[in-house]
Amino acid sequence: RLGPMLADHLGVPVDHLWFGGGGANILLCVTLSTTGPGSSVVYAHPSFLVYRLSTAVAGAERVEVPLDGEHRHDIDAMIAAVRDDTRLLYVCNPNNPTGTHVPTSEVLRLLDAVPESVLVVVDEAYHHYVEADDYWSMVSLVDERPNLAVLQTFSKIYGLAGLRIGYLISRPDLLDPLRKTQLPFTATNLAQVAAVAALRHTDRLAERIETNADGRAELVQGLKARGMATADSQTNFVFARLHDDPLAVTEGLLSRGVIIRPTGTAWQRITVGTPSEIAEFFDALDAVVSGVGSP
């Protein structure tokens, strides 16, 4: 039942959908099916870690293109990074861990510039949270583009991360060869039933999106009030420069029961919580920063 229901929800034929045990499972299969030793994969850095991991598993070469000064995908640099041996290019839109988005016109420019022999996967795991009006999902364009696939998941706005179910949307002639590296039985019955239930309640999404946008604005405002720089987030997390000693801050927060995502740099990822969680985060942050010293 999930296939027809999701197809209806997305406005695509059911043969345009491929399900997997989470989007990460699909990303691995896509990378394994399209690349290998002697080929390369282009994606932004920092971005979703699975692009790097799956490229390593496939034995392909990773071509990591630094984000620009605003923590956004550098589309010109990504186009320039495509080589003769490039078979796959990931666009994480909006991007994890920075929360920044690529305007749709820029994704189209990239699709126009990249050879058709390069599969472009636009990862829209967080697309529901985007409020920028120059962004929209690429799902409706998969029939018009010969090398476009779109990844989405039930793990984010639908809250089913623990059940592991995601999907790739593309034309059947592109999907078929991509599926060859997927073992059978990866999307469990339980996950499918949960996804069907989630799709029956899409009327609740608007409220979740609004709650997230309010929490995100509060988080950004609080960070800015403390003189901490933030990237423009369109997701359910905020990328911020909390302190020059990020490890001390991460550990200090952890000892107070607050978990944030370290990135190995001064910039860290903070997930949007409920109003009381956000208040708790700022209390803990203030205590930790006053102990460690000013940023």
Ligand X SMILES: Cc1ncc(COP(=O)(O)O)c(C=O)c1O
Q: Which residues in this chain contact ligand X in the complex, by CB under 6 A?
A: 22-24, 48, 92, 96, 123, 125, 153, 155, 161, 166
> Least CB distance from residue 123 to ligand X, whole Å?
5
Q: Is 108 helix (H, G, I), strand (E, B) or coil?
A: helix
> Least CB distance from residue 38 to ligand X, whole Å?
26
> Least CB distance from residue 293 to ligand X, whole Å?
32
Burial of residue 162 (number of CB atoms within 10 Å: 0-12, 13-18, 19+): exposed
Q: Is 152 helix (H, G, I), strand (E, B) or coil?
A: strand
Residue pair 154/166 in contact (Cβ under 8 Å)? The answer is yes
**Cβ distance to ligand X smaller for residue 99 or 252:** 99
> Least CB distance from residue 12 to ligand X, whole Å?
19
**Cβ distance to ligand X smaller for residue 29 or 242:** 29
Q: Alpha-carbon Rg of the chain, whole angstroms?
A: 19
**Cβ distance to ligand X smaller for residue 34 or 96:** 96
Q: Give me the helices (H) in the chain, please.
A: 2-10, 23-34, 49-58, 75-81, 104-113, 172-178, 189-200, 205-225, 246-255, 275-292
**Cβ distance to ligand X smaller for residue 5 or 292:** 5
**Cβ distance to ligand X smaller for residue 23 or 222:** 23
Q: Is 249 helix (H, G, I), strand (E, B) or coil?
A: helix
> Least CB distance from residue 175 to ligand X, whole Å?
17
Residue nearest to ligand X (CB): 22
Q: Is 267 helix (H, G, I), strand (E, B) or coil?
A: strand
